[in-house]
Structure 1
Amino acid sequence: MFDKLKENEELWDLFTRKEEYSVTFRDAYERFPYYLSSHRNIFEPRVSKFLVENGLKPQYPDGKKFAVCLTHDIDAIYPDKLYPIVGPVKALSRGKLAEAVKAPFSRVNRKWNPCWNFREILALEAKYNAKSSFYFLALTSEETDFNYNIKDLETELGFISDSGWEVGLHGGHESYNSLEDIKEKKRRLEEVLGKKVVGYRNHYLRFRVPDTWELLSKAGFKYDTTFGYSDCAGFRNGMCHPYRPFNLNEGRQIDILEIPLVIMDRSLLKDYMRLNVKKAWECTKHLINTVEKYNGVITILWHNNMCIDGENLRYYEKVLEYCAEKNAWITSGEEIYNWWTSKIEPGN
């Protein structure tokens, strides 16, 4: 694959993200944002298109044409401190009396906590014959964005894993740039889960090309699915297929599989692109249809606190329904990794 790509300098530079090797400016979270990229046609996977035209022919279980890598970042399991006050007002405005009664006690009663919704998410996905990956933080109480102690989630982690869904690591703010931090958080999560974790995504999508891939490989991860833009949906390096990254500094492939992120809920609807539901759905459909066209893998990130009753949950189910109607293989990052490395990589 690399030899063929190298023949096309423009696509090789895009695939390897050459422009990110000499960055003079990053955003507030030390990320390389889409608005600084010279690659403007982000909604078309130009590199994957080239590879398909030159012989890449992925196949998926049961003859499915494309795959959906379905994922959730678990940033918080306890509502915001203002939720017990604001929650009842919002619930009453929607005519949800029972929810309004529960909201004031949501931070002390798990049964009434809308963010403690892992089993509800599993049930919804099972309805569409789908599975997913849950990436959990393993922070200490002194770290930025600490919201929960991973040790308190042993039962839930076990239930998710035993049900056939995946538990992976959601690295902390500084993990993307620290091997020691990545290893320590991996150890904490594995200690609670009781088995090795293979999948990773960094908090706030913080990432440094090619350094973060190298650190994750050294830490023992098999795949990463951080690599997408926070400020725009689409194909960051023109790929809609999993791939082994290439380190331009050392002239070699990195021993980790990247399953690139394409759609994040907050990119579309909340913090960045700020699309209304109609425009967001047009964008989502285009990206799904495009990945189907090239027999690719589309990675979708939907946070657990965006899977609470309301418009965001309805949107998420609409995505599941649309992909299921297209007969996509909707599954976890771990299953994508296992299939790609055993069935597709050996032949390419």
Structure 2
Amino acid sequence: MTPEALSWLQRILAERFGHGFHLQAAGADFVHLCLAGSGQRSIEIAADPGTFRRADSELAFTSWDALAEGWQPALGSPLPAPGLARAPSPLIEATTTGYRIHYDVLGLSYWMLSRQEEVGRSDLDSYGRFPASASHAGKHGYLERPVVDEWLHILGQVISRLWPELQLRQQRASMKVSHDVDVPSRYGFASAARIIRRMAGDILIRRDVKSVLQAPVIRLKTRTALHPTDRVNTFDWIMDVSERHGLVSAFYFICGCTDPSKDADYEPEHPAICGLMQRIHARGHEIGLHPSFNTYRAPEKLQAEAKRLRRICEQENIEQEAWGGRMHYLRWEHPTTMLGWEQAGMTYDSTLTYADHAGFRCGTCFEYPAFDPVAGTALNLRIRPLIAMEGSVIGYMGLGTGEAAWKKFRELKDTCKAVNGCFTMLWHNSSLGSAEERDLYQAVLEH
């Protein structure tokens, strides 16, 4: 593993465990995890660069029974072990100077967190996205497990056995909610053609005659503010619910148009949108960027849209310490899109989940520093993995808005709790128009 990659992984270990741990390559076969001032004691971790530098999804796979060797798995079941055809026995053994781990935990962490797997892929869906079905995790059934967090949980136990005097950093389970503002008003900003299509959808699909009858009024009165009876104007309701649960909602706004058929029909400078941003900020919630449809391959356009958002916020006297967001339609080309966020000077991105299946695309539910696997360099940008989008669970996975969907959200949230991580959820403001959607959303937050 390169010095740059080791330095990046060392930073991740410091965020997770604290203390002055140091990673040092020991030939081609092992990396030593050392602690300053601890003498010769160290943890030797097998190195398998031939496996974890691959940009494909054809790695071997098996599982490892941690309990059988006296270690406590975070989820109480055997750990997925990508890259191994058969788990060594023992996988972790004591040595005269510490412990030896016969599995490349660091390599796995690099492969999952850097998204090395996705570099140069051509097996994409109709929106140019790398799908869960093509991923190693999707093929081998561990997409709903934070495999990196599970292995670092084991590594933490090895550290504690070797250095029992250490108090490792204690993480606390948390939750973050965010909302992509694709449609802030059902009829307030749409073109005539879109209004007709939406009215037809409201009548034929949603049987929502009331919204159709209100459409002309909403259209005429959305000049300086969003209309209070607009079915997708759920912003105050969202903030009310978040505040009851001690959460800060992040609202990501589209600030450009690179595909008129896919992008928003509002301009962020519109008085109604500026007023919405002011209200969000005044209530202590967050404003962020939702780059337009084709910016995922155009870093310069992403930068321009980020600049536009900041300019609007400056004009509205909206100040924030951090700026983040998520790609429209979850479109992502690796590492091109990530570099666009980096070059735009954004603090974090929260795109990385799969549209077709909720779960742990990056193998973790912890935010972490980004790494460019092509250039081999760490970035200033932070990756905030997205665990579940409502559209994935309700739509792509076909679970609807009832008990089955709630159970899936609960399982994912409980999994994050088991590793003391962060359950990060996306729920569009426009997907809270029905009582069933609102009930499901509140149930997920309350659990």
Of 324, 328, 340, which aligns to 1:203? 328
Q: For this pair of structures, how many residues does the alignment match?
A: 314
State whether residues 257 and 263 of structure 2, in contact with CA within 8 Å, keep that contact through their aligned partners in structure 1.
no
Q: Give SS of 2:342's match.
A: helix
Alignment of 1:166 onto 2:310: no
The residue correspondences of 1:1-348 to structure 2 (distance < 5 A) are 1-2=9-10, 3=23, 7-8=104-105, 9-40=107-138, 41-55=142-156, 59=170, 65-79=172-186, 81=195, 82-84=197-199, 87=202, 102=214, 105-109=217-221, 110-140=227-257, 143=260, 144-152=262-270, 153-194=273-314, 195=319, 198-270=323-395, 272-276=396-400, 277-322=402-447
Unmatched 5+ stretches in structure 1: 323-348
Q: Give SS of 1:108's match.
A: helix
Given residue 128 of structure 1, which amino acid in structure 2 is its aligned partner?
A: H
Judging by fraction of residues, say which structure has more strand.
Answer: 2
Q: Deviations over 1:249-299 (max 9, x none)?
A: 2222222111100100000112x1111322222211111001001110111
1:66 positional shift? 0.9
- TM-score, normalization by structure 1: 0.82
State whether residues 265 and 302 of structure 1, in contact with CA within 8 Å, keep that contact through their aligned partners in structure 2.
yes
CA distance in 2 between counterparts of 1:173 and 1:98 reads 31
Unmatched 5+ stretches in structure 2: 1-8, 11-22, 24-32, 34-44, 48-103, 158-167, 187-193, 222-226
State whether residues 131 and 355 of structure 2, in contact with CA within 8 Å, keep that contact through their aligned partners in structure 1.
yes
CA distance in 1 between counterparts of 2:403 and 2:215 reads 30
Q: Give SS of 1:267's match.
A: helix
Q: Give SS of 2:228's match.
A: helix
Q: Deviations over 1:27-86 (max 9, x none)?
A: 1211111111122310110101122332396656xxxx3111110000112326244455
CA distance in 1 between counterparts of 2:330 and 2:250 reads 16
Please list every run of at least 4 consecutive aligned residues from structure 1 whose deviation after the TM superposition is greater than 3 angstroms.
1-7, 9-12, 55-60, 82-91, 97-109, 140-144
Q: Deviations over 1:130-182 (max 9, x none)?
A: 22100000124974423111111111101101211000000111222222111
Residues 58 and 33 (structure 1), Cα distance of their counterparts in 2 relative to 1, 3 Å cut: farther
State whether residues 252 and 287 of structure 2, in contact with CA within 8 Å, keep that contact through their aligned partners in structure 1.
yes
State whether residues 368 and 383 of structure 2, in contact with CA within 8 Å, keep that contact through their aligned partners in structure 1.
yes
Residues 269 and 108 (structure 1), Cα distance of their counterparts in 2 relative to 1, 3 Å cut: farther
Given residue 145 of structure 1, which amino acid in structure 2 is its aligned partner?
A: D
- Give the root-mean-square deviation of aligned CA atoms: 2.6
1:128 positional shift? 2.2
State whether residues 132 and 166 of structure 1, in contact with CA within 8 Å, keep that contact through their aligned partners in structure 2.
yes
Asked which structure has the greater RCO (Cα within 8 Å, sep 6+), the reply is 1
- TM-score, normalization by structure 2: 0.65
Residues 145 and 51 (structure 1), Cα distance of their counterparts in 2 relative to 1, 3 Å cut: same
Residues 85 and 29 (structure 1), Cα distance of their counterparts in 2 relative to 1, 3 Å cut: closer
Residues 53 and 193 (structure 1), Cα distance of their counterparts in 2 relative to 1, 3 Å cut: same
Q: Deviations over 1:223-254 (max 9, x none)?
A: 11011111100000211111112222222222
State whether residues 259 and 294 of structure 2, in contact with CA within 8 Å, keep that contact through their aligned partners in structure 1.
no
More deviation in 256-265 or 17-26?
A: 17-26
CA distance in 2 between counterparts of 1:280 and 1:33 reads 20
CA distance in 1 between counterparts of 2:122 and 2:299 reads 24
2:51 corresponds in structure 1 to: none
More deviation in 172-181 or 218-227?
A: 172-181
State whether residues 84 and 105 of structure 1, in contact with CA within 8 Å, keep that contact through their aligned partners in structure 2.
no
CA distance in 2 between counterparts of 1:26 and 1:309 reads 33
Aligned residues with identical type, % of pairs:
27
